[in-house]
Structure 1
Amino acid sequence: MPQPDPRDLARPGTLDLRQRARDLDRLTEHGVDVLVVGGGATGAGIALDAAARGLTVALCERTDLAAGTSRWPSALGSGGLRRPARGQVGAARQRARERAVLMRVTAPHLVRRLPFLVPDVAGRQVSALAELGGRLGDAARVSVRGGRGSLPGTGRVGAEGVGRLLPAVRPGRGGVVFWGGQLEDDARLVVALARTAAAFGARVLTGATVTGVDGGTVGLSVDGTPTAVRAGVVVNAAGVEVQQLAPDVGLAPVREVHLVVPAARLGRPIAALTVPLPGSRTTSVVALPQPGGLVHLGVTDEPVAGPVPDEVAEPGDAEVGRLLAAVNAVLAVPLQPADVVGAFAGLRPGTRAGGAADLSRQALSWDGPVLTVVGGELPTYRATAAEVVDAVVDRLGRGARRSPTARLPLVGAAPERVLARVDAPARLVHRYGTEAPVVAALGDELVVEGREETVGELRFGVRFEGARTVADLLDRRTRTGLVTSDRERAVAVAGAVLAEV
């Protein structure tokens, strides 16, 4: 029996150019209950929550889904150490609860268990503090629904265990292992959120800039063409750009910096290395294994002084040197600047608490019909979205009172036993879940020789996931663009796929 052309298969929440045009027409003609500004994890999560409660919704993003904070693949659905160590038990419990929802319901295909190692060669006091924080995190995890069996507990390993998990660490001493949940790709989670919202009727518009709000009228510029639409409430979830609609809202942005190095230089680790940033007791550098033979070295919580810049500068030599020095302190063979094959930086919106930026707390504030949300983290996006939509429902006087999203799988999501039977390469199942066979049928040619991404993934990004530019395809629908030389080789292929439409 002949197989159907994948482009003819209807997919839940399909985002393509034709759907974008229809969504714009309907938004212009009918307006919506809720217009969400910002296409990151928070904005897409709010759009899904509101649409799932029966409200009419539009999601407007000036560039592309996950183009800001949520584009970076190093954020974790993990418990972490900072909150338990700082005594932030409530934040730790919320993270544990939301991690369990992500792993079991929302997106099991996108989240996997990952051990984090703090080696004794970083200092016995450092690993002892990590063990304390890990055990406090374990206590928070077992206290929430679904948390008890979601991850193993914190424990010590000997020198042999350190060598097995992270071969590049200086041998001879043990360490502490705690567990978290690593997202396969943050941007894939955001795209799945937006598509699921679209499946519930949300209008998803990228390339749409909100220029102002006057009562119930929202100024909108779509591809440079101005228009006006009606909205009962505008939710400002634009990340570090929230002050464009809410100039008086307090914002404490922090800079995150990441380096990309070949996994072979660290002995192809199977755990994330966690070491303190020199001079800090609560900020760590994490070397996070990635699919495709890469490792990302990342650090966050670096305060940004002054106004938010229009463009985020790439990591400079001093930042690169600082990250490498932190990791090299525990490696047998130090990393060199020449080992860095890619680097990227971004800004995250924090709120001010105790004189410092706090990423774990979100703040909500109304200004007329505009509700601005600042802060919060990707692992807890769902809880933030539920709180925001609770406030919207109270304001509008309609919509379901309780959020259904804790029981709502995203497009592609399924229980592990179902995912195990999906007839497609395992790598695609980890990224696309039950939609992996459609991706595979769109073409298995490699985008770049020596990498794993396929032309089928690019085609799926255009035909079903709203990708409109080369950057959308290479930097967000796939991760080809994070390695500079690979991006250069992939541009022509991405351009040819876009031309097929």
Structure 2
Amino acid sequence: MYSYKERSHIFNTLNSYAFDVLVIGGGITGAGIALDAASRGLSVALVEMQDFAAGTSSRSTKLVHGGLRYLKQFEVGLVADVGREREIVYENAVHVTKPEWMLLPIYKEGSLGSVTTSVALRLYDRLANVRKDERRKMLSKKETLDKVPFLKTEGLKGAGYYVEYKTDDARLTMEVIKKAVEYKAVCINYARVTDFVYKKKKIVAATVKDEISGDTITIHAHQIVNATGAWIEDVQALDQAQKKKQLRLTKGIHIVIDQSVLPLEQAVYFDTEDERMVFAIPRDGKTYVGTTDTFFEDDPINPTATSEDVEYLIEAINFIFPEQNVVAQHVESTWAGVRPLIYEDGKNPSEISRKDEIWTSKSGLMTIAGGKLTGYRKMAEEIVDKIVKKNRFKHATNCITQVLALSGAKGLNSKNFEDYIKNKAKVGESLGFSYEDAKALTAKYGTNVDDVFIHAKNHSADLNLPLALYAELSYSIEKEMAYTPSDFFIRRTGMLYFDIATVEQYKSAVVDLMSNTIGYSDTEKLIYQTQLDLFIDDAKNPK
């Protein structure tokens, strides 16, 4: 069980044992470290001060991609590493990751010419060990316009055509967390590290506050890892013997537009007028566009898009799709994420390397920073490799995550998943779901879908919730530690970004059901309702 009902038990368990490893941070990096360590036989605890994936790991471009643009910066090693990881992430979690053919238009005035693009994509294929059926193709002008008829034609010479991988970043994080729990990792959200405990100048424990109950405990661990992303410096500041590296936060935003306005059926990766690269990607009847790249100096707890950010992306859209005449009123929702990058003097946001770095302070606190979503598994392997070199951890086995199916993916692969979806959709249909809803649930939850279906058994019309939405909500509370309506609508489903109308339609019913199920106090219910309303306002109304 990984339920809100187990919260007190989980919290007390953290207070009862000395763990091999304590991971601070429940984003994709921390989740990956917890899974790698636990699957090697280490005892692992993980604490996250917000909800799992509430930081950058639910606010990315939602691509497991190889970073083609880094070839322009000659970061060949980075492209090779993350490029090879794409397929591993995909095969280990086919229900949350899938191939997406990307169109890279080539213009006379663009930053990449036909020859350069062809060579770069060929090199990309080689560095990333791209499978044969996904290797790059070069398209003529006509072939390019056949795929996107409303693309800017002036100066168009053709396009490169290559594969990236589309994902749901927050759900990927959730499936990694759940797999770590299968390996006996003890993971909890809304638990903040407030201090460290020392013995002979070495950190031996962390003081942790439950942000929901207010209770405080001490978690003992032989190795503590700071994987808190944008909050790395805050955790380092608690360390008396801190070894600091200066971070530079940059912000990226995305906007979501209905496909009736921007009817894109083909993902496009294009040059802007200021020679940045922007993605436009179709998803579930919407098209989302991003990202920006600007330095960020504010509190990273809830970054938001500004009207200036949105206008930049609208100008980019109208530059590459001049017939569509997109305006700010067409934007249904937005989100913003903060990238924690290692500071490099004199470089603008887009030039700073996305490489990860690991360092250890004199007190023994290990910190990992930088990196990309795509490389989360390899980053985890690297840091756990360093941990298990210590004599204390001789019982650890070798890393197995390269071939370890995540939660919801056992027995599934790229060849059988589509048939699995169709078969399970028929099962869902026999249980009262529409065929399309059952199909969508299977595609999202993989082999966990039977459990989602079971959670529909207590559905009734007076709940004012559709059957599929009720099943997802019940499952997220009982099996994915969702505690607030925002956890559900943002991290467990992504609805606030891609179906905000449904969020507004059913938000009151969801708040009521969660309150009745979990047992909110009147104050908690008001707080969580207000919090969700603020997130909706931030998404709809850039300031």
TM-score, normalisation: structure 2: 0.81
| Stretch of structure 1 that moved more, 367-376 or 194-203 | 367-376
Q: Distance in 1 between matches of 2:69 and 2:468?
A: 35
Once the two structures are superposed, residues 102-150 of structure 1 have per-residue CA deviations (whole angstroms, 9 ceiling, x without a partner) of 122x1122221111112245845545344443222112123xxxx434x
Shift in CA distance, 167/451, structure 1 to aligned 2, threshold 3 Å: farther
Shift in CA distance, 126/418, structure 1 to aligned 2, threshold 3 Å: closer
Q: Distance in 2 between matches of 1:77 and 1:95?
A: 9
1:219 to partner: Cα distance? 0.7
Shift in CA distance, 241/321, structure 1 to aligned 2, threshold 3 Å: same
Q: Aligned pair 1:349/2:344, yes or no?
A: no
1:185 to partner: Cα distance? 0.8
Q: Secondary structure at the match of 1:163?
A: helix
1:259 to partner: Cα distance? 0.6
Q: Which residue of 2 aligns with 1:457?
A: 472
Q: Distance in 2 between matches of 1:342 and 1:71?
A: 15
Once the two structures are superposed, residues 153-175 of structure 1 have per-residue CA deviations (whole angstroms, 9 ceiling, x without a partner) of 22222344333433432358453
Contact 2:70 2:79 (8 Å CA) reproduced = yes
Q: Which residue of 1 aligns with 2:4?
A: 17
Shift in CA distance, 322/235, structure 1 to aligned 2, threshold 3 Å: same
Shift in CA distance, 71/310, structure 1 to aligned 2, threshold 3 Å: closer
Q: Which residue of 2 aligns with 1:489?
A: 505
Q: Which residue of 2 aligns with 1:434?
A: 447
- Which among 271, 280, 287 is matched to residue 295 of structure 1? 287
Once the two structures are superposed, residues 40-90 of structure 1 have per-residue CA deviations (whole angstroms, 9 ceiling, x without a partner) of 100000000010111111110011111000112623112232122222221
Q: Aligned pair 1:423/2:424, yes or no?
A: yes
Contact 2:102 2:164 (8 Å CA) reproduced = no
1:217 to partner: Cα distance? 2.1
Q: Secondary structure at the match of 1:65?
A: coil
- Aligned residue pair count: 475
Shift in CA distance, 441/226, structure 1 to aligned 2, threshold 3 Å: closer
Unaligned runs of 5+ in 2: 198-202, 238-243, 426-437, 519-543
Q: Secondary structure at the match of 1:195?
A: helix
1:92 to partner: Cα distance? 1.1
Contact 2:303 2:338 (8 Å CA) reproduced = no
Q: CA RMSD in A?
A: 2.6
Q: Which residue of 2 aligns with 1:314?
A: 304
Once the two structures are superposed, residues 261-311 of structure 1 have per-residue CA deviations (whole angstroms, 9 ceiling, x without a partner) of 1122222x232222224323xx31111211x2111111144233x4x5254
1:19 to partner: Cα distance? 2.9
Give every structure 1 segment of 4 or more consecutive aligned residues whose post-TM-superposition deviation is greater than 6 Å.
448-453
Q: Which residue of 2 aligns with 1:113?
A: 99
Q: Which residue of 1 aligns with 2:207?
A: 219
Q: Secondary structure at the match of 1:63?
A: coil
Letter in 1 for 2:88: V
Q: Distance in 2 between matches of 1:432 and 1:475?
A: 16
- Which among 50, 62, 66 is matched to residue 53 of structure 2? 66
Paired residues for 1:143-292 under 5 Å: 147-149=130-132, 152-171=134-153, 173=156, 175-214=158-197, 215-222=203-210, 223=212, 224-247=214-237, 248-267=244-263, 269-280=264-275, 283-290=276-283, 292=284
Contact 1:157 1:177 (8 Å CA) reproduced = yes
Q: Distance in 2 between matches of 1:323 and 1:311?
A: 23
Q: Distance in 1 between matches of 2:294 and 2:206?
A: 35
Q: Distance in 2 between matches of 1:359 and 1:124?
A: 23
Contact 1:59 1:204 (8 Å CA) reproduced = yes
Q: Distance in 1 between matches of 2:356 and 2:60?
A: 22
Paired residues for 1:457-476 under 5 Å: 457-476=472-491
Contact 2:136 2:162 (8 Å CA) reproduced = yes
Q: Aligned pair 1:97/2:112, yes or no?
A: no
Q: Distance in 2 between matches of 1:264 and 1:126?
A: 31
1:431 to partner: Cα distance? 1.2
- Which among 36, 46, 50 is matched to residue 33 of structure 2? 46
Q: Which residue of 2 aligns with 1:407?
A: 403
Q: Aligned pair 1:500/2:494, yes or no?
A: no
Once the two structures are superposed, residues 361-403 of structure 1 have per-residue CA deviations (whole angstroms, 9 ceiling, x without a partner) of 1111112131111101110000000111112212463142531
Contact 1:20 1:204 (8 Å CA) reproduced = no
Q: Distance in 2 between matches of 1:452 and 1:180?
A: 35
1:481 to partner: Cα distance? 1.2
Q: Distance in 1 between matches of 2:230 and 2:365?
A: 16
Letter in 1 for 2:216: P
Contact 1:210 1:218 (8 Å CA) reproduced = yes
1:312 to partner: Cα distance? 3.9
Unaligned runs of 5+ in 1: 1-13
Contact 2:205 2:221 (8 Å CA) reproduced = yes
Q: Which residue of 1 aligns with 2:373?
A: 378
Contact 2:55 2:301 (8 Å CA) reproduced = no
- Which among 327, 330, 337 is matched to residue 320 of structure 2? 330
Q: Which residue of 2 aligns with 1:9?
A: none
Contact 1:254 1:347 (8 Å CA) reproduced = yes
Letter in 2 for 1:251: L
Letter in 2 for 1:489: Q
Letter in 2 for 1:97: R
Shift in CA distance, 392/373, structure 1 to aligned 2, threshold 3 Å: same
Letter in 2 for 1:435: N
1:346 to partner: Cα distance? 1.5
Letter in 2 for 1:364: I
1:350 to partner: Cα distance? 0.9
Instruction: Calculate percent identity across the aligned residue pairs.
Output: 26
Q: Secondary structure at the match of 1:315?
A: coil
Q: Aligned pair 1:390/2:376, yes or no?
A: no
Once the two structures are superposed, residues 325-356 of structure 1 have per-residue CA deviations (whole angstroms, 9 ceiling, x without a partner) of 11211212221111100011110111134643
Letter in 1 for 2:205: T
Shift in CA distance, 238/359, structure 1 to aligned 2, threshold 3 Å: farther
Q: Distance in 1 between matches of 2:82 and 2:381?
A: 14
| Stretch of structure 1 that moved more, 408-417 or 457-466 | 408-417
Shift in CA distance, 93/333, structure 1 to aligned 2, threshold 3 Å: same
Shift in CA distance, 355/15, structure 1 to aligned 2, threshold 3 Å: farther
| Stretch of structure 1 that moved more, 111-120 or 379-388 | 111-120
Q: Secondary structure at the match of 1:115?
A: strand
Q: Which residue of 1 aligns with 2:540?
A: none
